[in-house]
Structure 1
Amino acid sequence: MALLEAVMDCGFGNWQEVANQMRTKTKDDCENHYMKHFINNPLFASTLLSMKQAEEDKNVDTAIPFQASEDPPRPTFDSLLSRDMAGYMPARADFIEEFDNYAEWDLRDIDFVEDDSDVLHALKIAVVDIYHSRLKERQRRKRVIREHGLINLRKFQILERRYSKDVQELYETMRRFVRILGATNHDRFIESHALEFELRREIKRLQEYRKAGIKTFHSSKIYDRLKKSREEERMKRNMLSEVLQYIHDGSACQQWLKRQAAIDAGLHQVAPVISSSGRRSAPPLDLTGLPGTEKLNDKEKELCQVVRLVPGAYLEYKAALVNECNKQGSLRLAQARALIKIDVNKTRKIYDFLLQGGYITKPQP
């Protein structure tokens, strides 16, 4: 008892002061005795556990609802958390407003008197029965909230996030059946489907190994490592097609290079690339399978990808500009824009490309 009083006075862990107050024991003696008999003693721990269980069993039938939420938060009035709790008051274990809060108003003017007719008496009884049914619905909703611990919304949402995306979608779909299933049955249902999704993923992974001719787990580790390296190489190859949309914009190209350096450095929050026009450029056009692609050389393919122009249209525009240049001996940009009724920026890029490639000539000053 003297040791317990000394620990209470000096604080747990302050063994030197405890020893000074005990006077007859050293610092190590006090610490070893306390840890042996009060911390690491299984009999003492089991006694505390049994006392706690007895206290819980004693309070099972109390009138305080929401047992699943043992310690609901106590936010300030009119805060965001208070609104999430739908006006629940933890100190009173009740809501500010009940469900169907004005159900009692229908009874305020009812008075049973002896001279009521049978029809009027039956009508008043029916109103009371309706009121009782509304009270039952109010209690049913409280029971659902209590069994599932819905009053602590934040804690409930954290528990939901532990599931994968597939299970979360199922969870959202099955939420409407919470009122039918009990809390335990509903949780077992969700857990069983989470296990099913996990087994399906594992079966799909094993089928992928078998399709690749892998029969041992040691080989599967090598396969996963090689697959990861292949995906990284594929991403690097895709970077070239991504940078094509910024190749004619020096500022945007510099931004893209800085962004890639930030990604390589391990930074997850990187700014998007913005071209000098003030908006994000569209990705390069995929020419696979488009008619006329085989008639283009590599530079013309690159131009069509950047300008996002189908090969057939480019060939028509090229033929029109070349023919006009041959007729007049030269071709101005204004004349090219009059011949091609498309975006002026695209026309400028096509004109500069043909001029640089020697397909057309510019008038001499």
Structure 2
Amino acid sequence: MDRLASFGNDPFDKPPCRGCSSYLVEPYIKCAECGPSPFLLCLQCFTRGYEYKKHQSDHKYEIMTSDFPVLESGWTAQEEMALLEAVMDCGFGNWQDVAYQMRSKTKEECEGHYMKNYINNPLFSSTLLSLRHMDDHLSRTADTAIPFKPTDDPPRPSFDSQLSRDMAGYMPARADFMEEFDNYAEWDLKDIDFVDDDSDILHALKVAVVDIYHSRLKERQRRKKIIRDHGLINLRKFQILERRYPKEVQDLYDVMRRFARVVGPIEHDKFIESHTCAKVYERVKRTREDERRKRNMLCDVLQYIHDTRACQQWLHKQAAIDAGIAPVVSTISTSGRRSAPPLNLTGLPGTEKLNEREKELCQVVRLVPGAYLEYKQALLNECRRQGGLRLAQARSLIKIDVNKTRKIYDFLIKEGYINKA
């Protein structure tokens, strides 16, 4: 197909047959072993077993043809290439000329097939963008745009109506405005006349005035281009389009409208969508962090399950978070009092899975058996994966008090469950 794409529809564009020198007509044969330049034969020379220099009749070969559907039935590969070439030659939107150049399809068939498979198909969405770089008269075809096609009936507000004033006096018959931006820019030039006896300073001053006028004309054209590219000329359609978005997106459009002048319509829509997605991401992130904080608080409660004062403190903190109030957490101070008594493991789930030394560790560290078994398994898996484990890695895996992590790590090293890196 890559090779066929460079030939075109005219048979005289193809290279001649290497056997009889006649112009090739599809289907024809290409030798798969001779190269790098293609060795091509017509069907008659191929059936006669034509051989030339290194080419032998028993070589592997390929049948070159474009008479097969690619994107949909009824359109062969050759017609697909002819359509693309016709659009490149005649310009996007000139479907009458495209159909005349193709000769095998009607105007409606060409337009419908191209819009379906090359514009609305996301696999070929870049086709129109590449054509826009080669032709300044192409239209924007994004789903959220309001293209002003030549076949569309432009808005025709009555003279001096509210819609006419909102559209800055747009005149559809002339495709222009009744009053231009900076409408009186020409007044500064009406009395300027270049004469031969002007002094150098006066001549330079007049040239500067003309340059200023040119810059004002450029600004006038720039504003018209923004209106055309963003589909702002049909004000009501544009307003109806914006109302389809949620309220927060409409507000974002109003705030970001000023940035439409520095980017194209597609880039501006992506800019708005990215900010909208960022807001959704921040909201989901806050919800996820709240859920994670609640899970961490539950672990803290389990550590102090037999300490009434600590239990009450963490339950108050949970209630404050559920109420949407920033909780005030006061740390549990151990100064001035005896250390906490060993944890009573009677009746706690997972106790039966511990040996005597592990039970003693859980009592001293005041860690419930279920949590200890979970932390132990995590450290064992990480040690097997890396061939060793450091204390810093253990602390990154176990999100509890660092002193408790150190005691668990030293115990597993001493008992031979894990080894240092």
Q: Which has the higher contact order (CA 8 A, sep 6+)?
A: 1
Q: TM-score, normalised by structure 2?
A: 0.35
